[in-house]
Amino acid sequence: MKINYQLLLEKELSQLSGTPRLLLHACCAPCSSYVLEYLTKYFDITLYFYNPNITDRAEYDKRAAELERLIHELPHENPIRLIVCEHEPEKFFALSSGMETLPEGGARCFACYRERLTATADYMAAHRDEYDYFATTLTVSPHKNAAKLNEIGGELAAAMDLRWLPSDFKKREGYKRSIELSAEYGLYRQDYCGCTYSQSWRSANAGEFQPCRQVNGIPQAETAETSDS
């Protein structure tokens, strides 16, 4: 039975008291834009930029800088902080060993999800007194498998005695809003996840990979779940 993670999120938000502290894994500024706009009235947020899949150092630094600029310019009701982790592409290359030629949306991508969420959970576990929940901005993208991300997040939370905030941020036109905010703030919007395999696969399959459709000039997520790294 398919789980509606957006409804689970809304239920969780309706039961909050005070201003809980959220450790939010962030993949990039465009995806973070809508998620921050949505959650800032509920949480004191710390963004955790850990993305070893972004294998090019210049690209990594560019995305981190855009994220920092966004949190300074985006209005927010509660504090937003940013932790930028070291650039560690060797971790991505290690986890993807033997899966280099797989198409996007498969086992390599799921292993990458797990690496990023595990690092976020580990950080929260090491700072238990500082955070109440952890989550990821990745579910705002139509290229990411929200069900798999929530499955991994829930498993980590159960294993480490943490609280996972379920989400499917692309719902309620969240993805559309992220595009609008990206345009409003002039954010750099990359066209691949960051890994060299994704970039090569996209180039080789440019005519086949169409995860979005245009509605009034704005890309919209297809109903079917798609994912990349």
Q: pLDDT tens, 161-212?
A: 999 999 999 999 999 999 999 999 999 877 656 576 666 555 555 544 333 3
The answer to whether residue 49 is domain-embedded is yes
The answer to whether residue 60 is domain-embedded is yes
Quick one: pLDDT at residue 214?
A: 28
The answer to whether residue 227 is domain-embedded is no
CB–CB of 226/147 below 8 Å?
A: no
**Residue 209 belongs to what domain range?**
5-197+205-221
The answer to whether residue 145 is domain-embedded is yes
Q: Based on the structure, what is the number of domains in the chain?
A: 1
Q: pLDDT tens, 25-70?
A: 999 999 999 999 999 999 999 999 999 999 999 999 999 999 999 9
Q: Please, which pLDDT band fits residue 218 given cuts at 50, 70 and 90?
A: very low
For the chain, what is the HEC assignment? Answer: CCCCHHHHHHHHHHCCCCCCEEEEECCCHHHHHHHHHHHCCCCEEEEEECCCCCCCHHHHHHHHHHHHHHHHHCCCCCCEEEEECCCCHHHHHHHCCCCCCCCCCCHHHHHHHHHHHHHHHHHHHHCHHHCCEEEEHHHHCCCCCHHHHHHHHHHHHHHHCCCECCCCCCCCCHHHHHHHHHHHHCCCCCCCCCCHHHHHHHHHCCCCCCCEEEECCEEEECCCCCCCC
The answer to whether residue 168 is domain-embedded is yes
13: CATH? 3.40.50.620
The answer to whether residue 62 is domain-embedded is yes
Quick one: pLDDT at residue 194?
A: 55
96-105, 150-159, 176-185: which has the minimum mean pLDDT? 96-105
> In terms of Cα–Cα distance, which of 86, 167, 174, 110 is closest to 133?
167
What's the pTM? 0.87
Quick one: pLDDT at residue 188?
A: 82
The answer to whether residue 226 is domain-embedded is no
Q: pLDDT tens, 79-93?
A: 999 999 999 999 999
The answer to whether residue 71 is domain-embedded is yes
